[in-house]
Amino acid sequence: MIASPEPLDAASGTRPDGLPFPPGDAPEPRIDRARRSQIAASLGIALAIVIAAWFVGGRSGFRTIGEGGVNQRLLPKVGEVAPDFETRDVFGNTVRLSDFRGRPVWLNFWGSWCPPCRAEMPEIQAAYQQLEPEGLVLLAISVREPPEDALRYALQNRATFPILTDRYEQDTGAFYPLYNVPTHIFIDADGVIRAVILSDMSLDRALYAGRDVIERSLPDA
């Protein structure tokens, strides 16, 4: 009588008689069906989450990362008249955007809690020292923080431009809704927006944008 072959032990990598399998003959370890189903279900859920996130993100501005996304769409557009607003500086004085009609204006929405805003402060101060004698007005509007915090950080960095405060965005938020800071808006002497920059500012970029709006504000421009 021919003996039936002994069962193979795939998990140990050897036959029951202790000898190794011949090359290429070792059976693959068996994975039970329940485990395979669990892995497949997990992968399916993960894929569904990624697809859903991409769909929602696409509607919310993923495609315009680096260009402002949602913020770019909600803010006033280049070529439009900048909406007027009234707020206060860190000393309690009332300031209106329309007070500066006839002069080019640089609006900077920022906060000392914002790392890019903190990083760009020395660059903004350096640009202001060159642009202010050429006629540019810089209004740095602190948001989402107490005015004392904004003033303290401005003093630490020896900022000489006006620091305004709109902690809860009650004065400016309806006209300039912010989804990210810093946000920079350059306005010519006629009150028309000429540039919207939704990232931290380098010295060269600030000088370029500032001088462009100054030139556009000249009588013959």
* Residues 89 and 160 placed together within one structural domain of the fold: yes
Closest CA to 104 of 73, 74, 139: 139
Eight-class DSSP state of 120? H
Coil vs helix vs strand at 145: coil
Is 78 in the same domain as 56?
no
Find out whether 197 and 110 touch, Cβ atoms under 8 Å.
Answer: no
Domain membership flag for residue 65: no
What is the predicted pLDDT for the residue at 43? Answer: 74
Strands of 193-197's sheet in order across: 94-96, 86-89, 163-166, 137-143, 105-110, 183-187, 193-197
Q: Distances from the Cα of 12 to the Cαs of 4, 24, 35, in angstroms?
A: 21, 15, 20
Q: Is residue 145 part of a domain?
A: yes
Could you give the CA distance from residue 179 to residue 72 in angstroms, rounded to a whole number?
9
Say yes or no: 54 and 115 in one domain: no
Query: Is residue 170 in some structural domain?
Result: yes
- In the chain, % helix, strand, coil (3-state, to 5) comes to 40, 20, 45
Tally the domains of the chain. Answer: 2
Which pLDDT score, from 0 to 100, does residue 70 have?
58
3-state secondary structure of 105: strand
What string of pLDDT tens digits covers the 221 residues of the chain?
Answer: 444 444 444 444 555 555 555 555 555 555 566 677 777 777 777 676 655 544 434 433 333 334 455 567 889 999 999 999 999 999 999 999 999 999 999 999 999 999 999 999 999 999 999 999 999 999 999 999 999 999 999 999 999 999 999 999 999 999 999 988 999 999 999 999 999 999 999 999 999 999 999 999 998 76
Chain segment 76-102, per-residue pLDDT in tens: 999 999 999 999 999 999 999 999 999
Entry pTM: 0.70
- Our CA angle for 174, 117, 155, nearest 5°, is 105
Q: 160 and 198, same structural domain?
A: yes
**Domain residue limits at 27:** 12-60
In a domain, 83, yes or no: yes
> How is residue 17 written in tokens?
């008689």
CATH number of the domain encompassing residue 160: 3.40.30.10
pLDDT of residue 26: 53
Same domain, 25 and 133: no
